[in-house]
Amino acid sequence: MKKELLAPAGDLESGLAALYYGADAVYLGLKSFSARATAANFSAAELKDFTGYAHTLNRKIYVTVNTLVQEEELSNLLKILDICSVAHVDGIIVQDVGVVRIIKERYPELDLHASTQLAVHNKEGALFLKSLGFTRVVLARELSLPKIKEITKIPGLETEVFIHGALCYSYSGQCLFSSLEFGKSANRGKCAYPCRSEFNGKHLFSMKDLALQAEVLNLPATSLKIEGRKKSPLYVAAVTDYYRHLLDEGKSDTLKAENLKQIFSRPWTTLHFLGKNKDVIDRDFVGHRGLLIGTVIEAHREYFKFKPTHEIERYDGLQLDLTGREKPFGFSLEKMKIGEKNVYKAHKGNLVEVLLPPKAPFIPKGTSVYLASSTKVKGSYPYQKPRLGIWAENPAVNVSISISKNRFLAEATGISVQKEGPFEKAESPERTKDAVLKSFSKTGDVAFNLGELSFTNTEGLFVPVSLLNEVRRELYSQIVIEQESRTLPEIEAPFIPKEQEEKWLIKTDDFEKISLLDFDEFEEILYVLDAKTDVKELLTLLPKKKVRLSLPPVIRKSSLFHTKVKEALNLGIKKWEISNIGHFEFLKTKGIDISLSPFFYTLNSQALQFAKEQGLSRAAYSFEDTLENRVLLAEKSPLPLVNVLYADVPLFISENCIRDGACDTCSHQEKWVDLGTTEALSKDCRTYVFDKRSYSLSSFKKKIPASYFEMDFVYKPYTKEEVKALQKEIRGGNDLKNTFMGNLLRKI
């Protein structure tokens, strides 16, 4: 089966470049609810026209509606989905389960594609999404080829795999760094990219760019996806052209790869596609590097000399790696010499003297030289621009007309308009039919065209054109009103907590931390299940009826966790907490109580109703949600809600290792790394990053409606004495020192 090459488009120009250079499909965003909110994105008119044009080429268009949606935004979401429906797009890429519910109930014509923001990193996640009606899953970037092959074997489910472009340090959808630290939520398309910053003088989280290159030939996925909705049309053209050639010819083209590196690239990596890989971080520099074309042979204050491995021209852009600088030093090549002669162009192997700009730093001998911008390459990717404004595909509306002596009736989409007669015999009944067809073909500015016209006039009667036009206008205006009147799916009556004493929950990953507490003071004790948990021993330490086992957000060793879950179920554990879409597949046993953790995002009432319909018993406010939205949710939630008042929230959950050294020399012991205002935990070959302050809403306990209050002592080391003292302060609603509130009082 032919693999689909899927290219990005941050605007119309990029979309046209992608199609011209061979993309089988293009993914893009509208002005709202796109995970690349700062890209130009498409207007409604551009989407309709671009989709119509793509369909004439037998190409497909997918729209990203892949952000978390707050309660007050739901009505605007309907407008975006209306636009997608009218434009006949080929798929909607979504993250929010509330959006999933709305599409399934109100827009069944739209195919559901699961965003990589849903963190589908195992077969279980893919299976559950298929059961929900998803036709395609965008897999987490961290997966290896064997894991991808396992998921692609699921019948009836398409898979989409990233093959090229920028990488996130954290699992997509599991990153809260930008949100909690800066109020710019990556889950809402506003990431501030703090991962590119310096930590202890190094860019410890600044990822290289993914570039699978010829490895894509081994991929069994349905669709091969290129990242880059914030990149230029030139980049989109070049990267699409590179992979189109590779797929068609079965091999990589060196020149095309070099062009691509020159236009934009960080150093390239295959990430973990071929197995666990530590060569994924560019610790010394950030940003575009370009194509390596040589090293400095002679170093002088005002100029340097080198032999380029590629042709260079005047006004090309050069960049050089300089120790102590966060970014490479770059400048426009204004003047160069070969010997004593000024030249406009230098060829491969020439000894070139490059004049440095004023106030340039000293360039030492041996410094790497990169071609970061080439005039020649900029002109190498022209593309034809079709005439726009003529390609929009409006839906066809079938109309039924019947004429009798005393009634003229027009019907369409369940709407009818009629006028009373009497109507006289026509001199030419055929002219009546022609007049009806001519009138009802005039759809004007409405977002549909006339489809089939069913005409019944058995008595051969005449109807004035003025009456035909009047009925047409009335019928079509009612159809437009109906099209624009889609409402949100209903949700059940809100859950109203009874007046009673406070219910407290406590979560931990180590019994010793909570060993001094009086468990009678807690409704439940949530314990994070991991590969080392001895459930049988745990039940000798804790009251069984109070235990709720919590599955971690990322489960890569599925078989091990299936065994752990089965063991716990056999021991009588009936209460569970989930934090990822794949967890439903681990807990298919009947008669158990399942709740949602804050990592399973429910920022709107439709998402909460989705959880209710899946049989869940309660949900939790997201760590990154605001006070305003929490209050709105409490008014509409069909489920009891948990308010986590204290936790150490992972800003990153990453499969990328922060440690120095090779894997085979690693002790694999738990290790903490001080990063200034943050700190990192390396544990079980995974990295977690935290603010040094704990997240606390303790002082807002009475201002956020909730059925349960929770305190978490997970990840970080606490003594049992510290936990005992802290839980007393949290219960008292005290304003804890050295804590932060995330987005509680912000807009996100």
Q: At 498, is the pLDDT very low, low, confident or very high (cuts 50, 70, 90)?
A: confident
Give the per-residue pLDDT at 638.
98
Model confidence at 480: pLDDT above 80: no
Closest CA to 408 of 370, 459, 444, 481: 459
Model confidence at 448: pLDDT above 90: no
Model confidence at 1: pLDDT above 90: no
Give the per-residue pLDDT at 212.
98
Judging by DSSP bridges, how do beta strands 619-620 and 641-647 pair with one another? parallel
Mean pLDDT of 695-717: 97
548 DSSP β-pair partners: 526
Mean pLDDT of 77-91: 94
Model confidence at 482: pLDDT above 80: no
Model confidence at 137: pLDDT above 80: yes
| pLDDT tens string 515-573 | 999 999 999 999 999 999 999 999 999 999 999 999 999 999 999 999 999 999 999 99
Model confidence at 389: pLDDT above 90: no
Mean pLDDT of 594-605: 98
Give the per-residue pLDDT at 215.
97
Model confidence at 166: pLDDT above 70: yes
* Out of 304-313, 445-454, 710-719, least confident range: 445-454
Judging by DSSP bridges, how do beta strands 91-94 and 504-508 pair with one another? unpaired
Mean pLDDT of 595-624: 98
Distance CA 381, CA 27 (A): 20
Distance CA 188, CA 115 (A): 13
Distance CA 409, CA 416 (A): 7
- Give the tokens for residue 667: 């002790």
> Please, which contacts does 356-364 make with residues 24 or more away whose CB atoms are closer than 8 Å?
356/302, 356/303, 356/304, 356/331, 357/331, 357/332, 360/329, 360/331, 361/322, 361/325, 361/329, 362/299, 362/301, 363/296, 363/299, 363/304, 363/320, 363/322, 363/329, 364/296, 364/299, 364/322
Give the per-residue pLDDT at 449.
82
Give the per-residue pLDDT at 666.
86
| CA dihedral sign of residues 49, 50, 51, 52 | positive
Give the per-residue pLDDT at 31.
85
- Give the tokens for residue 243: 């992979």
Mean pLDDT of 107-123: 97
Give the per-residue pLDDT at 443.
79
Give the per-residue pLDDT at 236.
98
Give the per-residue pLDDT at 33.
85
The per-residue pLDDT of the chain, averaged, comes to: 95
**Cα maximum dimension of the chain:** 100
Residues 6+ apart with CB under 8 A from 134: 112, 113, 114, 157
Using DSSP's 3-state secondary structure scheme, residue 12 falls into helix
Q: At 391, is the pLDDT very low, low, confident or very high (cuts 50, 70, 90)?
A: confident
Beta-carbon count within 10 A of 437 CB: 15
Mean pLDDT of 667-684: 94
Give the per-residue pLDDT at 394.
80
Closest CA to 79 of 44, 125, 129: 44
| Amino acid at the residue 579 | S
Model confidence at 484: pLDDT above 70: no
Model confidence at 40: pLDDT above 80: no
Determine contact, residues 250/228, Cβ cutoff 8 Å. no
Distance CA 318, CA 293 (A): 10
Domains detected in the chain: 4-167+207-269 (3.20.20.70), 291-378 (2.40.30.10), 396-483 (no CATH), 504-650+695-740 (3.20.20.70)
Determine contact, residues 9/28, Cβ cutoff 8 Å. yes
The answer to whether the pTM exceeds 0.85 is: yes
Judging by DSSP bridges, how do beta strands 619-620 and 593-596 pair with one another? unpaired
Q: At 479, is the pLDDT very low, low, confident or very high (cuts 50, 70, 90)?
A: confident
Give the per-residue pLDDT at 266.
93
Closest CA to 279 of 204, 208, 377: 208
Mean pLDDT of 161-179: 97
DSSP of 582-606, one letter per residue? THHHH---TT-EEEE-TTS---SHH
Give the per-residue pLDDT at 445.
64
Give the per-residue pLDDT at 329.
96
Residues 6+ apart with CB under 8 A from 474: 417
* Neighbour-count burial of 248, counting CB atoms closer than 10 A to its CB (0-12 exposed, 13-18 middle, 19+ buried): exposed
245 DSSP β-pair partners: none
Distance CA 60, CA 111 (A): 12
Give the per-residue pLDDT at 392.
83
| pLDDT tens string 3-38 | 999 999 999 999 999 999 999 999 999 988 887 766
Judging by DSSP bridges, how do beta strands 91-94 and 112-114 pair with one another? parallel
Q: At 446, is the pLDDT very low, low, confident or very high (cuts 50, 70, 90)?
A: low
